[in-house]
Amino acid sequence: MVNKKGDKAITKDVAIDIVVFGVVQGVGFRPFVYRIAKELGYTGWVKNIGHGVEVHLESKDKTDFNDFFTAFERAKPPLAQVEDTQVTPSARFHNCRDFVIKKTKEGKSFVFISPDISICESCKEEMMSPTDRRYLYPFINCTDCGPRYTIVEDLPYDRDQTTMRSFTMCANCREEYENPFDRRYHAQPIACPVCGPQISLINAKTHKEIKGGITKATFLIKDGKILAIKGLGGFHLVCDPFNFDAVRRLRQIKKRKTKPLALMARDLSIIKKYAAVNPAEEAQLLSARRPIVLLKKVKDIRGIAPRLEEMGFMLPYTPLHNLLLEKIALIVATSSNQKDSPIMKDIEEGIENLCDYVLTHNRPIHMRSDDSVMKVVEGAPLFLRRARGYVPYPQQVPAALESPHHVLALGGELKDTISIYKNGYVVTSQFLGDLDDYKNFQYFEETIAHLKRLFELKPKVVVSDLHPNFHTTRYAERLGLRHIQVQHHYAHVLAALLEHKISPGKMVLGVSLDGYGYGEDGTAWGAEFLLADYDGYQRLGHFKYVPLPGGDLAAKHPWRMAIAYLYETFGERGAEKGGERSGGRKRGRSTDWSGDGTQAMKTLSARIEQSTSLKKVSTRKRNAALEMIERGMNSPMASSCGRLFDAVSFLVGLAPREMEFEAEAPMRLESAAEESFLKSYRFAIINDEKRGQATFYRGNKKSSLSPFFHISFIPTIKAILKDLNQGVPVSQISAKFHNTLARVILKVAERARQKHHTDTVVLTGGVFLNKRLLTTTLHLLEHKGFKTLRPVVYSPNDESISVGQIAYALNLLQKHTGHK
């Protein structure tokens, strides 16, 4: 990595200049360089410049600088992310007497702010050492660890601009803070028991403080009580996972019957009692970012993740959590939000109504942030939620997309994030939730203000989704900036292109599978095959449109989708096209109700009666849904992939009649799938070429839309019903269904390669949180020589929409085309 161009020129009285690029500011990089330079006897300086740090090293007696580079490589600050190091012989020998940290004005650089980072090993050792002055102190931290993003209010990042401002450093802390050789040199949240924050334990009913602190808190948890515990980005609700009554009460408080609850374990050995942990998962659990990792159960804990094969675990990340878990091995630690509201950060927000006791402290949280949640797929993260520990880590954009303008992107509506672009980097906010909830919308506004302030953003351009009624779209319209709109599924694909630094001009096949997104033609898109680059995309094909009886309700009641798919398969429209394999000639006649309609309806009724799971839905409700479909009332058509999963999950008897949380039905279906079962079902690719040539879209330019093909799952549904009839185990049906979708993607990829010479396939959209589908598809594609890209830094779900929006805007700004 180090370019040793300078080596030859080095003799006596030598000097070199080193420029380190990447995330190296505000992470203790300068003091780190200072320490090694001083220890090794070099003179010179270190200072922040533009995108990095500049080091000037001088020596009167050394022949090379190898000892410096060895120390440099070995002990880089854990928060630093070095992207490149350039070394050149210095033009001048300054004859420096000392090594100094030069102060610089932070000019046009991208000033980096660290995410919140879990307690480091050195701090942990001190905290557990009885002779240390911070023995058992729950707010110990240093330059390498502790709170950052959640306590910073403004720039520059010093103590006065953080929520630590009200704590005046004692003489001992100040000495450490000012000493470049100390691990706490310029650690803004530095604190000790004498001068720093303190905890208090409060009875939630009486609002009175009680004695006993952390020790008492653990007794209360063991005693079946529910505690709210203040962490970095908000409160957790905590209870004993083995006390079923406590878990049930916690579920009542959170109004969640089945949604999985996260667990925090003292150490890996505890986790391994209940879950299988492979080395890559272990590395994520142990990383300083401390995400929740979903792991395969080996021993279930009743009530924690019912009907799912995975449980979510994390290791303690604050000193406070570490002290708490010294005395209790495993706790439920779920975020303190009530349904559709952001995580609570202050006691005044009503946390006392959700628990029996509150373990809080007086270091204010400025910015809320939930725990991050991931699975590990093929050794790399697959984020379900990206927040604490990762935000606001910046993402460098491909050089060709860099722009002098600042950009603000507002994302979609559900699982929203915002992203900002400045000086070559994108910063994406933490997960903000569903903006249809007023409190979440306020959180969205708080977060925009926060990021704008922290990164001194003066956006020239704002980007939103195409959906005219999204809160984000309307918010964008009110800003009075140049407003660019990007289609939802295309934004998903672009996010992956940006993350993987794909250059402009490279065409990929984007496979964007999710629940719903506003289509270019105003219809509901949801399972899209897009030939795409940064300039635009062509919609090559999609899943067949299926009615969503009841509109939004269809996403909550999987039985509605089961009826819709049976209708498509056996009802009049379905019967008419029952024999379709390829060609789809009868497409235009789908509203022709004459002919053998009655017979078809009889078949349909019989099929519905035969379905064990549909029989559990009242006849009245079933008929109402059927009528809606028949009359085309409140039954929008959508090419959704999520709804297909709902239907299949319900038909095989896994989905509940009413889903409590998003993707509950698909998650149960995935959990049921038999491993390494290779069979699949038939499906049909129906060519729509008679409908004219597909148009190559640039931006949101409107014109008629003509897909090349659609995928019909009528043969699949028929075969699933046959399997059910013949008593084939649900585990095998589920496996076959997953394999079918993977084969659909492979077939489409092969078509695209043949016709458009694309060998790269992007797999994105919330459906790819399904690990079974993702790994099967990756293997199939890679086996056939495709290069695959999937979001790793970001979630494939709608959290990445704002990132894709940035990519599109940057490309447009590059071209100076000027059109919207």
Nearest distance, CB of residue 128 and Zn ion, angstroms = 13
Q: Which amino acid is at 360?
A: T
Binding range to Zn ion, per CB under 5 A, among 168-176, 239-247, 522-530, 729-737: 168-176
In DSSP terms, 44 is beta-bridged to 57, 99
Q: Which amino acid is at 592?
A: D
Tell me how far, at minimum, the Cβ of 191 lies from Zn ion, in Å: 6
Binding segment toward Zn ion, per CB under 5 A, in 155-163, 184-192, 462-470, 732-740: 184-192
Q: By C-beta, is 182 or 300 nearer to Zn ion?
A: 182
As measured in angstroms, the least distance from the Cβ of 318 to Zn ion is: 11
Residue 145 Cβ, how far from Zn ion at the closest point, in Å? Answer: 3
Measured from the CB of residue 379, what is the shortest distance to Zn ion in angstroms? 28
For the bound state, the minimum distance from the C-beta of residue 727 to Zn ion, rounded and expressed in Å, comes to: 59
Sign of the four-CA dihedral 606, 716, 687, 513: positive
Q: Which of 57, 190 has the CB closer to Zn ion?
A: 190
Q: Rule CB under 5 A: is residue 192 a binding residue for Zn ion?
A: yes
- Using CB under 5 A, pick the residue from 170, 280, 624, 728 that binds Zn ion: 170
> Which amino acid, 362?
N
Report the residue number, 180 or 224, with the smaller CB distance to Zn ion.
180
How near is the Cβ of 360 to Zn ion at its closest, in Å?
Answer: 21
CA atoms of 188 and 158, how far apart (whole Å): 6
Q: Does 195 bind Zn ion (CB under 5 A)?
A: yes
Rounded to an integer, what distance in angstroms lies between the CA atom of residue 140 and that of residue 319?
Answer: 7
Rounded to whole angstroms, the Cα distance separating 57 from 94 reads: 10
What is the identity of the amino acid at 806?
I
* Chain residues 103-142 in contact with Zn ion, contact rule CB under 5 A: 120, 123, 142
Residue 118 Cβ vs Zn ion, minimum distance, rounded to whole Å: 9
CB 531 within 8 A of CB 700: no
Closer residue to Zn ion in complex, CB, 168/599: 168
Count Cβ neighbours within 10 Å for each residue of 310-334 and write b for 16 or more, e otherwise.
bbbbbbbbbbbbbbbbeebebbbbb
Kindly tell me which residue out of 57, 82, 145, 387 binds Zn ion, with binding defined by CB under 5 A: 145
Nearer to Zn ion, 197 or 342 (CB): 197
Nearer to Zn ion, 195 or 210 (CB): 195
State the DSSP code for 798: G
- Please say which residue, 123 or 669, places its beta carbon nearer to Zn ion: 123
Tell me whether residue 184 or residue 266 sits nearer to Zn ion (CB atom): 184
| Cα–Cα distance measured from residue 450 to residue 162, given in angstroms and rounded to the nearest whole number | 12
**How near is the Cβ of 138 to Zn ion at its closest, in Å?**
13
127 vs 418, beta carbon nearer Zn ion: 127
Closest to Zn ion by CB, 317 or 455: 317
Stretch that binds Zn ion, among 167-175, 660-668, 689-697, 729-737 (CB under 5 A): 167-175
- d(C-alpha 145, C-alpha 109), whole Å: 24
E strand or H helix that includes residue 67: helix 66-74
Classify burial at 132, counting beta carbons within 10 Å of its beta carbon; exposed 0-12, middle 13-18, buried 19 or more.
Answer: middle
Sign of dihedral through CA atoms 154, 160, 162, 165?
negative
- List, as one string, the DSSP characters of 437-452: SHHHHHHHHHHHHHHH
173 binds Zn ion (CB under 5 A): yes
Contact window for Zn ion (CB under 5 A) among 126-134, 195-203, 780-788, 803-811: 195-203
Nearest alpha-carbon partner for 180 in 14, 20, 45: 45
Q: Binding to Zn ion by residue 448, rule CB under 5 A?
A: no
**Contacts of Zn ion in 374-403 (CB under 5 A):** none
Q: How far is the CB of 129 from Zn ion (least distance, A)?
A: 14
Residue entry with tokens 């006065």: 160
Looking at residues 714 to 743 of the shown chain, list those that interact with Zn ion (rule: CB under 5 A): none
Shortest separation between residue 23's beta carbon and Zn ion, angstroms: 18
Query: Judged by CB, which is closer to Zn ion: 144, or 371?
Result: 144
Instruction: Please give the helix or strand (H or E) that residue 565 lies within, else none.
Output: helix 558-570
In the complex, the smallest distance separating the C-beta of residue 148 from Zn ion, rounded to whole angstroms, is: 12
Could you tell me how many residues of this chain bind Zn ion (CB under 5 A)? 10
Site for Zn ion contains 164 (CB under 5 A): no
Nearer residue to Zn ion within complex by CB, 318 or 680: 318
- Candidates 187-195, 285-293, 381-389, 568-576: pick the segment binding Zn ion (CB under 5 A): 187-195
Give 166's contacts (C-beta < 8 A, 6+ positions apart).
Answer: none
Burial class (CB in 10 A: 0-12, 13-18, 19+), 520: buried
Choose the stretch contacting Zn ion; rule: CB under 5 A; options: 2-10, 42-50, 143-151, 381-389: 143-151
The closest of 295, 402, 488 to 51, measured between CA atoms, is: 402
Which residue type is seen at 665?
Answer: A
* Alpha-carbon span 700 to 487, nearest angstrom: 7
Which residues contact residue 241 at a Cβ distance below 8 angstroms, ignoring those fewer than 6 apart? 247, 261, 263, 301, 304, 330, 331, 332
Residue 564 CB, nearest distance to Zn ion (Å)?
55
Q: Pick from 666, 643, 663: which is nearest to 654 by CA?
A: 666
Q: d(Cα 41, Cα 36) in Å, to the nearest integer?
A: 8
Candidate ranges 162-170, 412-420, 507-515, 789-797; the one touching Zn ion (CB under 5 A): 162-170
97: closest CA among 47, 40, 42, 179? 42
Q: Closer to Zn ion at the Cβ: 139 or 390?
A: 139
Binding site for Zn ion (CB under 5 A): 120, 123, 142, 144-145, 170, 173, 192, 194-195
